[in-house]
């Protein structure tokens, strides 16, 4: 590796070798890398590695840019070749699924029957996610409120409270999600308080955070108005208070997203949804 391509000391090379799309591998690697905020990975991603020629490219890069090697390869020859190369050259290497598969094998007994990209088969779960995504897009930002009873989750919140990105994330998990903007003195859709099947959740954030996001958005649109109530802190605080009062009145749970990532917000909603479904099942039994 030449000095011109050598990474700075706060960087390292991370090689991800997969015989499928690499989504599982990337997710695991990034989750682990995120634990080390002071050093960043330079990712080298090799999806659909199913022949020795394709593996040659990955090994060549690993040789030029040594670092950590993670892989998900089901073909024994490819797997053993990559592992042997790394071990012979003192390069850290790990099959990210192997420990999990061994645990399953110890519990279930018998040998697994590996399938390349098996987790991405077009099964019922896949089509459930597609259906949820279509529903969520159709019911974004207060659209088609007459069909809310078919939702799994209905999100409420003022402008810039992360309703749409949270909805899309939930939809990708197969959860049909509608979201409705809240504006003081503007009535919510009729029948919202009568919904039985969906979980209704309010999203709020600190006034400072909302103002910051709104200001950045307006600046990006070249439409910022210094005294516009849209970015006035007191006005925004009243919008948030209105949201909270509405949710308290109807006994809807509220999640403060100020310091939460979209993933953390979605995880909290999924937990609430599971409890909501248990209650509905108890009532129906």
Binding residues for ADP, as ranges, are 157-164
Integer Cα distance of 176 and 105 in angstroms:
34
Sign of the Cα pseudo-torsion (136, 142, 146, 152, in order) = positive
Q: What burial letters (b/e) apply to 134-170, b meaning 16+ CB within 10 Å?
A: ebbeebbebeeeeebeebbbbbbbbbbbbbbebbbbb
- The residues, ordered by sequence, that sit 6+ positions from 225 with a Cβ below 8 Å of its Cβ are 218, 231
Binding residues are 157-164
- Checking phi first, is residue 171 left (phi over 0); if not, alpha (psi -120 to 50) or beta? alpha
Tell me if 177 sits within 8 A of 152, measured CB to CB: yes
What is the DSSP code (8-state) at residue 222? T
Closest CA to 54 of 29, 75, 37: 75
Cβ neighbours of residue 66 closer than 8 Å, sequence gap 6 or more: 1, 13, 89, 91
- CA 75, CA 116: separation in Å to the nearest integer? 8
């Amino acid at each position: 590796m030449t000095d011109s391509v050598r990474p700075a000391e706060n960087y390292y090379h991370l090689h991800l070798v997969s015989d499928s799309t690499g989504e599982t591998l990337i997710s695991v690697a990034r989750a682990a890398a995120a634990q080390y905020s002071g050093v960043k990975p330079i990712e080298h991603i090799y999806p659909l590695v199913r022949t020795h020629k394709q593996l040659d490219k990955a090994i060549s890069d690993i040789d030029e840019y040594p670092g950590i090697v993670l892989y998900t390869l089901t073909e024994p020859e490819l797997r053993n070749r990559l592992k042997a190369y790394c071990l012979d050259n003192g390069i850290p290497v790990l099959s990210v699924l192997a420990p999990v598969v061994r645990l399953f094998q110890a519990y279930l007994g018998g040998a697994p029957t590996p399938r390349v990209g098996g987790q991405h088969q077009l099964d019922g779960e896949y089509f459930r996610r597609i259906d949820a995504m279509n529903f969520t897009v159709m019911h974004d930002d207060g659209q088609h409120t007459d069909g809310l009873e078919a939702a799994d989750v209905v999100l409420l919140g003022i402008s810039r409270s992360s309703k749409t990105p949270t909805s899309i994330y939930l939809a990708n998990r197969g959860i049909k999600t509608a979201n409705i903007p809240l504006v003081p003195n503007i009535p919510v859709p009729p029948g919202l308080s009568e919904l039985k099947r969906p979980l209704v959740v309010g999203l709020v954030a600190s006034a400072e955070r909302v103002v910051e996001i709104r200001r950045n958005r307006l600046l990006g649109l070249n439409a910022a108005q210094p005294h516009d109530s849209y970015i006035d802190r007191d006005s925004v605080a009243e919008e948030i208070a209105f949201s909270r009062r509405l949710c308290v009145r109807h006994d809807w749970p509220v999640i403060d997203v100020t310091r939460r990532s979209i993933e953390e917000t979605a995880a909290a909603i999924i937990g609430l949804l599971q409890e909501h479904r248990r209650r509905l099942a108890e009532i129906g039994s």
